[in-house]
Structures are given as C-alpha cells and as structure tokens.
C-alpha cells in the first residue's frame, strides 16, 4: 500500500510542477500596456540598430549613424566584468586585422554600472585601439535593453543588426567568423 502511494506521487509530481510553473508565469507576466505592446521587445537580428550619440573619454562625441557603410561590432561592457576583460584583447586583435576592410568596434562602457576612470584605465592598460564610449546616463544600455555584460551586436553596413551575442567571453575565432560574414558582403 505504501509503495502504491509513493508510485502515484512519482507520476503526479512532474505534472504538478508544470502546472505550478505555468501558473507562476501567468501570474507574473508583464501586462501588454506596460510592456509597450506592438513594439520590438529588444534590438535583435534583422532590425535596425538604434542610433545613439555618446562621449568618448577625450571629450569628442561619436554617433552610431556616423559609421554607416562600415561593419560595426557594438560591445557593451564594464571594467569590473571578468568576461568583458577577457574578451577585450580578442576584440582589439580582430579590429586591428580587419579595420582596413571596413570594420569598426565601438566599446560602450556601461558607466552607470562602472566608473569612467576605471573604464579609461582598463582601456589604457589593455592598449585598445578602437573607440571607447561612456554611457554615463544609461541611455544606450536602456535603448539596447542590456541584460547581461558583455553583450555584443554585429551590425552590417546598412545599420541592420545581424546577430547578438549575450555573455562571453567571445573567442577570437567567434568574433572573426561573425565579422567575416559581414565584411564579405558587398558594400
């Protein structure tokens, strides 16, 4: 009798877990009015990259639209983020080898989660040669729906996001393969 009861719970257990999970998802959903019904939930492959203008540490400003016609690797990062730190040399390596073919890397520091001094110090320490930009008020982080660091957007010459990689660190081979696909396309 005891074995029969235990066997019954083993069969019902997974079903109860699924029912509880479905109920939790339904109860905690974001109402359509709050989620911006009809809008793209986040920048994603196949859609235009949202434009922005940010300051560089030297005081100059950079707009994403200024790089139209180039392949852009848009990397959102922070100096305290270990995967960000690990992948930075790979980004610089690919940039150095592919810049002449029309590649640019824009490294947007999520300065609302970091300090500008730490970002600049890290970039100097690493000797990066691509533009470092400071997202001081978090506008780009919000516009690009930043959920994890690092997050990298691969943008084609027409300004369309072609792929997104959330998390890292990315290897040089991963970066190279993503960039090569975009550089091989006719301008």
pLDDT (tens digit per residue) in 91-147: 999 999 999 999 999 999 999 999 999 999 999 999 999 999 999 999 999 999 998
* Res. 187 pLDDT band, cuts 50 70 90: confident
Buried b or exposed e, range 140-158, using 16+ CB within 10 angstroms = bbeebebeebbbbbbbbbe
Buried b or exposed e, range 160-180, using 16+ CB within 10 angstroms = ebbebbeebbbeeebbbebbe
| Rounded Cα gap, residues 177 and 117, in angstroms | 33
Beta-bridge partners for 27: none
Whether residue 7 has pLDDT greater than 80: no
pLDDT score recorded for residue 150: 95
pLDDT score recorded for residue 136: 94
* Res. 38 pLDDT band, cuts 50 70 90: very low
Residue found by looking up tokens 């270990």 in the block: 82
| Rounded Cα gap, residues 91 and 68, in angstroms | 20
* Token code pair at residue 84: 């960000």
Question: Are the beta carbons of 109 and 144 closer than 8 angstroms?
Answer: no
Phi, psi of 78 (to 5 degrees): -145, 150
Question: Where does residue 183 rank: exposed (0-12), middle (13-18), buried (19+ CB within 10 A)?
Answer: middle
Q: What is the CA radius of gyration of the chain?
A: 22
CA–CA distances in Å: residue 30 to residues 34, 36, 79: 7, 10, 32
| Rounded Cα gap, residues 120 and 4, in angstroms | 66
């Amino acid at each position: 009798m005891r074995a029969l009861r235990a066997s019954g719970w083993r069969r019902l257990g997974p079903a109860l877990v699924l029912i509880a999970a479905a109920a939790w998802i339904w109860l905690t959903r974001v109402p359509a009015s709050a989620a911006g019904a009809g809008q793209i939930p986040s920048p994603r492959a196949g859609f235009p990259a949202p434009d922005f203008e940010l300051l560089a540490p030297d005081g100059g400003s950079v707009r994403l639209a200024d790089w139209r016609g180039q392949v852009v690797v848009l990397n959102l990062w922070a100096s305290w983020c270990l995967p960000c730190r690990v992948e930075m040399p790979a980004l610089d390596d690919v940039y150095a080898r592919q810049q002449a073919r029309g590649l640019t890397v824009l490294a947007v520091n999520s300065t609302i989660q970091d300090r500008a001094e730490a970002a600049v110090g890290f970039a100097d320490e690493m000797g990066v040669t691509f533009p470092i930009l400071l997202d001081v008020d978090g506008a780009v982080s919000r516009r690009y729906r930043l959920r994890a660091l690092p997050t990298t957007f691969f943008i084609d010459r027409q300004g369309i996001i072609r792929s997104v990689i959330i998390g890292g660190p990315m290897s040089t081979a991963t970066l190279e393969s993503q960039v090569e696909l975009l550089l091989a396309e006719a301008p």
